[in-house]
Chain A
């Protein structure tokens, strides 16, 4: 039960929302799908005095492509299931839909938003490694203007991001995957729970940029490991082993909790990074478009 009194606003436009944020800043919380914020308030762990809902701003839920720039633009309140069902996402960033399909359960995916997930920045959230692997950017706006922040810089630590109190996430901007192929893998105890570790791999054809695996659940922010050498070596024994060592080295002090100690998390990071990488490479080799 939410015990703290609160003022509720449901602005109809981004401009109106930004005004409210500018006015209330620190005392206000943006409400996206509410799948994280409302339980946190119910448990008394967040007690915002002002809640500003983005759920009545239609312009924020749009998924569009910018053909000229070769980017996909996902509105901040696009629901997880919007992302999963979008033909544009399927064309430009299928890796993102892959990750989104694993989020929680049907109801969570029906309501939760990409902006909320990104702002909440749970280190095990499914979107996070995918966005980092895809080189996506977070477009944030305030009355002060707009900032476009690369995902790798946006996520700072456990539930800590580059977002300022008066800013909202207006859009997630994803460069089109093009001929690159991705795959997402995660480890959970029961379906519908957050991952223990997760990994998103993007394998780019030779000459069109680096291949990368981003790993979540081990550190405060996704850990990206370059896989280009391993990929160009055909992912054979020693190249793969070197990649795995790089993953290990990138996870010096993994989280420990009831679901996994540090040693286990590190090894699971390795296993899932490898599995994601092999799967992505397999897709690349097979010419699969997913």
Chain B
């Protein structure tokens, strides 16, 4: 049976459903000590002195590490994105700060103690003398001349600016029928994996070997980062990734905590464990998406856009070695999304502030790009009076216009955006919605429909970046008993790529799926690889698996052909049997063929093949251009999935409460290896998108104090807020991967944001309602409703008939009011 395309359940399900996974906090070593971090309580301050004497005196405290130690014994943390390569400013970031803290949560000291309680309690014993410095929290003010500086040595607060120009925007705008402007803002958010970060380090001074367990997405790159910061050889470090309780990008190294825990193990001679508390997760693991967009768009009466200028101002927090700020770059880089707007100018301003740095989070800037483009398309629809779908159809890149070049130089590989939207409209009976809306209105309910389009470039490769590249490897092994093992450097923090690898290998080898085992997340077992991010797992790990499995298949086919007295090319393999095409009774068991290779190496059938059944192969992606000098362009994303979604919401006009009633997504991430697991990922992505648009928000006060450091304040959606999802696939294969897959890990998220805004607006056809800012809190929606002018000029706010005020007071209807 062909496995690719089947809805196979995850290979780890049984273990995890039994509670028998091994997460990092489950790693317990003899004589293990515990580490806790002292973090800056100030957003910006000079450290005058650190006094650790009281902490050291506390019984049970083994060691206290400060910036002095870090600057003496450790090296700066290497950058995950090489800032110089793309003309950005960087900083030297040490694992522990010595002189100046730049955000609440930056590491100031670490305590190692016999138990967790003592380590945490001793943090209070450390006396740090801070001198508070001016705090930068507003990115707009931060760009003004004379603003206080996050990094005084920089001279300004701009990490990078870019001006991407295609065509002649001024001329296009001048020639357009109409020109409008607008400002929209996406909010500051974070990923909230239910398991936080954590690591365990063990140092064997005799073998000179560091073993490091971490809930990380990228074991091999982490090994390199650790080696560099600890000034050790890479082959002295063994990184093991236990089960990971969600990553979503935020478990990508290099963090301050990792080398500190490793160093602590080395200097104390004890295994050391650190498990992040939820509050630390909110203040130090990383934020994203906090972006303001100012746009000017020209268009003709037919809805065709002529000329677009977008200013992108991203508040990326303090500069560190984390790669998160790169999300702002990707936002600008992938504009104007899935639309063909020849005259476009994208102006990117990446602003640093005294807030937690951005770290990678699902969406990686493409979410913000999709958001602003949806808002612009809805704006144009409003101005032209045309349907929102008409504007999108009028401006989509056409299916025959691929590869398509964007202003940034990005090369979109393939796509069929019209097709996806067609499918979506059919699936939701778009035309029928108005009747439903009218019916709801008759019952006094306000429902609206919104549309979102997302363009989600995947498989990123950044020049000079060790961790971020467009290749990966896999080893496929067949044991003498015929079972198959796949080892890969691609990891799975719960996204299910291991299952996809097994499916791919089963098809290539013709073996039974249940004979395959997948091993990931161990730098000493698995071939070198870059781990999990940018939806690359199945694209690269799967393609490498395919290549390696093909090697073995070729070898086995040769042996089987000899056994069956047929030509290798005439053989097929499936479900553990090799057989001659067209005559399935001329067959030999997979295991019998394997047996020939191992036990009859010098016999008749195997004598022509190299012994052993193991192959390691690397897959190198096409459509990457890193040499602008010779290639004339810079393009770092090779695969461009697209999605089109529709959401129906109900809005309570009196409270601004929004309830998502229905969510439909048509997703095109190329060939789907496992629709079940892709759907599972899409459900999660949609939920994170809805959560971030409606319920979640990271907030700082003007002193740079984090106001949302618990799950009580940062509210992620529960089952009650979510609907069942309706998902359909369109498969426009990537021309660059052997099976045509494009990566589906982030897909589903980007289109939620604009769709929700549009749906709320759509629920009030009588209003000129403009939803511009996220999140869509009831307070904000209510405020927008109240101040929205009625189109008929009769005043402001929803027409009374819809607010419920005109309803009979004590009639039977009262119970319907909730």
Contacts and interface: CB of A to CB of B under 8 A. Distances in A.
Contacts of B655: 187, 268, 271
B99 interface: no
B718 A236 contact: no
Interface string B790-818: 00000000000000000001111011011
Interface string A270-286: 01000100110111011
Interface in A31-51: 43
Nearest to A190: B715
A197 to B, nearest CB: 10
A278 B778 contact: no
B121 A279 contact: no
Given A43-B710, A282-B810, A3 B120 contact: yes
B697 interface: yes
A281 B657 CA distance: 24
Interface string A4-30: 100000000000000000000000000
B809 A258 contact: no
Interface in A179-205: 185, 187, 189-194, 196
B810 A190 contact: no
Contact of A189 (B778, B783, B814, B815): B778
Contact of B817 (A190, A196, A237, A279): A279
Contacts of A215: none
Contacts of A196: 778
A217 B814 CA distance: 23
A278 B697 CA distance: 34
Interface in B587-626: none
A58 interface: no
A1 B120 contact: yes
Nearest to B720: A191
A278 B120 contact: no
A189 B809 contact: no
B116 interface: yes
B699 to A, nearest CB: 6
A234 interface: yes
B718 to A, nearest CB: 5
A279 B818 CA distance: 9
A278 B814 CA distance: 6
B715 A193 contact: yes
Interface string A110-152: 0000000000000000000000000000000000000000000
A259 B779 contact: yes
B117 A259 contact: no
A259 B777 contact: yes
Contacts of A271: 654-655
Interface string B100-119: 00000000000000001100
Contact of A192 (B120, B124, B718, B782): B718
A226 B719 CA distance: 37
B713 A258 contact: yes
B163 interface: no
Contact of B779 (A234, A236, A261, A286): A261
B779 A185 contact: no
Contacts of B809: 234-237, 240, 278, 281
B717 interface: yes
Interface residues of A, number: 36
A66 to B, nearest CB: 32
A282 B815 contact: yes
A76 B541 CA distance: 59
B563 interface: no
Interface string A156-199: 00000000000000000000000000000101011111101000
B712 A193 contact: yes
B815 A279 contact: yes
Contacts of B783: 264
B36 to A, nearest CB: 9
B783 to A, nearest CB: 7
Contacts, number: 83
Nearest to A233: B809
A1 B277 CA distance: 8
A261 B817 CA distance: 24
A87 interface: no
A187 B810 contact: no
Contacts of A275: 817-818
Given A1-B120, A190-B695, A190-B721, A279 B814 contact: yes
B708 interface: yes
A252 interface: no
B425 interface: no
A235 B121 contact: no
Contacts of A240: 809
A235 B808 CA distance: 9
B88 interface: no
A167 B199 CA distance: 45
Interface in A225-273: 234-237, 240, 258-261, 264, 267-268, 271
Contacts of B117: 1-3
A96 B655 CA distance: 24
B721 A191 contact: yes
A267 B783 CA distance: 11
A192 B718 CA distance: 8
A279 to B, nearest CB: 6
B817 A189 contact: no
B121 A282 contact: no
A194 B715 CA distance: 11
A191 B695 CA distance: 11
A264 B779 contact: yes
Contacts of B279: 43
Nearest to A288: B815
B9 interface: no
Interface string B278-293: 0100000000000000
B708 A258 contact: yes
B690 to A, nearest CB: 11
Contacts of A236: 809
Nearest to B780: A264
B695 A282 contact: no
B300 interface: no
Contacts of A235: 809-810
B818 A185 contact: yes
A193 B716 CA distance: 10
B49 interface: no
B353 to A, nearest CB: 19
A234 B810 CA distance: 8
Contact of B718 (A190, A234, A237, A283): A190
Contacts of A234: 809-810
Interface in B445-479: none
A256 to B, nearest CB: 10
Contact of B812 (A1, A185, A237, A282): A282
A50 B274 CA distance: 28
Given A1-B117, A43-B710, A275-B817, A258 B699 contact: yes
A233 B713 CA distance: 42
B53 interface: no
Contacts of B654: 271
Going nearest first, the 6 A-B pairs with the smallest beta carbon separation are A282-B814, A191-B720, A3-B121, A235-B809, A190-B715, A264-B779
Interface of A: 1-4, 43, 105, 185, 187, 189-194, 196, 234-237, 240, 258-261, 264, 267-268, 271, 275, 278-279, 281-283, 285-286
Given A234-B809, A271-B654, 6 more contacts: A2-B117, A3-B117, A191-B718, A192-B718, A278-B809, A278-B817
5 contacts: A3-B117, A189-B695, A192-B720, A278-B809, A282-B810
